[in-house]
């Protein structure tokens, strides 16, 4: 009997086993033909594209380009400049206020440095207008020297704005990129020489246009401020001394001027009342007599004012508030249907109710409102029927002190 070989019976076991690496497993996992593997490959592809786009955008947003050229003279000449005037910058751009904006930003930086005494562009224009001097759009160093002598300063800042706009970004579509370009010079009034000059331009997608302009001004002036030491105390002493000298020169001995008599201010105009009721009430106050307060009624046997009565008292209160010097007595009257003691108390309560309403709602002094109650002792018509009794139930004003005017 023929003996069979073990490997001939088991041919698979005769081959060496293949070792699978993680890369092989991942390739087999991703590059299969099943639907879920195709869907996974698409998702991963979209994710890689999105990640690449984000990286490109971050790189482009972080891009900014600048150019700068500076010129500085010797430090002793710069130290001699303590008081400067900032002229309006020449505007070479399509932006209408670019020159004014850069001039104001420069003034702010010079203030913050605490190394110069600054005269801003508005004050410069105001001073020149008072002297009938027309300031041209372009100021050269020679003209700046003459203007500086007029302003009484030691240095003059002049310059121009060459770029101030938003332009289309070269990195991305539909993205605006702010660009600012400024040229500035410091002219010495004593010699007419340019002591400091700087040209700076910047474009950046990270900042808006105004912030880019502020950054440009900060970078420009930093080169000048670094060359000048701290001198705040020295500046204070120098200008304090100059102020004292100016006061001494202006003070000329002269005879004392006679004092002018004090000007009497006219009294404030009174409010003009247009309602018929208020005009009539004001005329009665000026007449200075006792008069009837028509329309002021109360609930039966009470001191509660009706709504119509409150409306009439509102008109009266406005007039009395306008004339605080008026002093009146409020008199309450009733008919003779009740007991005399009860009628006397009711008439006094009704007078008090009118006084309380006027003083609380129109801030009228209580001392100017006196009250009294007469009950049914002073009827104006006989109490023979209900019409006459209604007329006798009334409130009257007696003027003790009328309006002054």
- Are 289 and 364 in a shared domain? yes
Contacts of 304 (CB under 8 A, 6+ apart): 298, 353
- Same domain, yes or no, for 390 and 315? yes
Q: Which residues of the chain have pLDDT under 50?
A: 1, 4, 6-7, 12-15, 62, 171-174, 233-239, 243, 246-247, 249-252
Residue 91 lies in a domain: yes
Are residues 169 and 282 located together in one domain of the fold?
no
CB 364 within 8 A of CB 317: yes
Longest dimension (CA), the chain: 164
Token pair belonging to 133: 């001097």
Domain-located, residue 41: no
pLDDT of residue 353: 92
How far apart are the C-alpha atoms of 200 and 261, rounded to whole Å?
62
Whether residue 322 is found in the same domain as residue 221: no
> Residue 144 domain-assigned?
yes
Q: What is the pLDDT of residues 361-372, one digit of tens each?
A: 888 888 889 999
In this predicted model, what pLDDT tens digit does every residue of 3-15 receive, in sequence order? Answer: 545 445 555 444 4
Cα(66)–Cα(298) distance, integer angstroms:
86
182 DSSP 8-state letter = E
Same domain, 75 and 148: yes
For residues 65 and 103, the answer to whether their CB atoms sit within 8 Å is no
Q: Distance between CA atoms of 213 and 18, rounded to whole angstroms?
A: 68
Q: What end-to-end distance do the CA atoms of the chain give, in Å?
A: 154
Dist CA 202 CA 212 (whole Å): 7
The pTM of the full predicted model, rounded to 2 decimals, is 0.44
Whether 315 and 206 share a structural domain: no
Give every strand in the sheet of 369-373, ordered side by side: 290-292, 394-401, 327-333, 369-373
Together in a domain, 105 and 163: yes
Domain closes at, from 187, 214, 240: 240
Same domain, 221 and 321: no
Q: How far is CA 257 from CA 249, 253, 260, 261, in A?
A: 20, 12, 9, 12
If asked whether residues 69 and 152 sit together in one domain, one would say yes
Among 224, 240, 256, the domain-final residue is: 240
Q: Is residue 203 part of a domain?
A: yes
Domain shared by 386 and 286, yes or no: yes
State the pLDDT at residue 295: 85
Q: Angle at the Cα of 215 (from 93 to 186), degrees rounded to 5?
A: 70
Same domain, yes or no: 359 and 213 = no
- Predicted local distance difference test score (pLDDT) of residue 234: 45
Count the helix, strand and coil residues of the chain and give each as a percent rounded to the nearest 5: 45, 20, 35
CATH number of 201's domain? 3.40.50.10610
Q: Which distant-in-sequence residues (6+ apart) come within 8 Å of 331 by Cβ?
A: 290, 351, 371, 372, 373, 374, 395, 396, 397, 398
Would 271 be classed as within a structural domain? no
The CATH number linked to 282 is: 3.30.1330.60
The answer as to whether 337 is a domain residue is yes
Please check whether residues 203 and 80 belong to one and the same domain. Answer: yes
Considering the domain boundaries, does residue 328 fall inside one?
Answer: yes
Last residue of a domain, one of 191, 219, 240: 240
pLDDT value of residue 168: 59
Tell me the CA distances in angstroms from 298 to 18, 239, 311, 345, 386, one per residue in order.
Answer: 115, 78, 13, 14, 16
- 107 lies in a domain? yes
Range of the domain at 357: 276-401
Domain count, the chain: 2
């Amino acid at each position: 009997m023929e003996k069979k070989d073990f490997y001939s019976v088991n041919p698979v076991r005769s081959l060496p086993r293949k070792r699978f690496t993680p890369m092989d497993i991942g390739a087999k996992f991703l590059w299969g033909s099943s639907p879920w593997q195709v869907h996974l490959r698409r998702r991963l592809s979209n994710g890689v594209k999105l990640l690449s786009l984000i990286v490109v955008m971050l790189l482009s947003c972080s891009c900014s380009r600048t150019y700068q050229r500076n010129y500085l003279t010797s430090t002793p000449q710069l130290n001699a400049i303590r008081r400067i005037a900032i002229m309006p910058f020449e505007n070479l751009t399509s932006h209408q206020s670019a020159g004014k904006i850069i001039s104001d930003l420069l003034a702010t930086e010079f203030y913050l440095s605490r190394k110069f005494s600054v005269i801003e562009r508005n004050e410069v224009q105001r001073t020149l207008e008072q002297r009938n001097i027309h300031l041209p759009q372009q100021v050269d160093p020679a003209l700046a020297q003459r203007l500086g002598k007029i302003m009484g300063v030691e240095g003059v800042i002049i310059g121009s704005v060459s770029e101030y706009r938003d332009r289309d970004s070269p990195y991305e579509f539909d993205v605006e990129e702010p660009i600012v370009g400024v040229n500035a010079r410091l002219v010495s009034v004593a010699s007419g020489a340019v002591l400091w000059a700087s040209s700076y331009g910047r474009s950046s997608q990270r900042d808006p246009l105004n912030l880019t302009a502020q950054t440009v001004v900060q970078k420009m002036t930093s080169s000048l401020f670094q060359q000048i030491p701290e001198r705040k105390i020295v500046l204070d002493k120098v200008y304090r001394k100059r102020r004292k000298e100016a006061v001494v020169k202006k003070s000329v001995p002269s005879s004392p001027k006679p004092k002018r008599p004090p000007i009497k201010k006219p009294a404030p105009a009174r409010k003009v009342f247009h309602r018929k009721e208020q005009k009539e009430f004001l005329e009665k106050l000026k007449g200075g007599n006792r008069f009837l307060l028509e329309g002021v009624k109360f609930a039966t046997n009470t001191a509660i004012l009706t709504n119509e009565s409150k409306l009439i008292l509102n008109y009266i209160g406005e007039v009395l508030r306008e004339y605080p010097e008026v002093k009146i007595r409020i008199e309450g009257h009733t008919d003779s249907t009740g007991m005399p003691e009860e009628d006397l108390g009711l008439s006094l309560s009704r007078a008090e109710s009118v006084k309380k309403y006027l003083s609380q709602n129109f801030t009228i002094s209580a001392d100017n409102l006196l009250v009294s109650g007469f009950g049914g002792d002073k009827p104006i018509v006989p109490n023979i029927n209900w019409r006459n009794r209604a007329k006798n139930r009334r409130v009257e004003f007696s003027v003790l002190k009328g309006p002054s005017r």
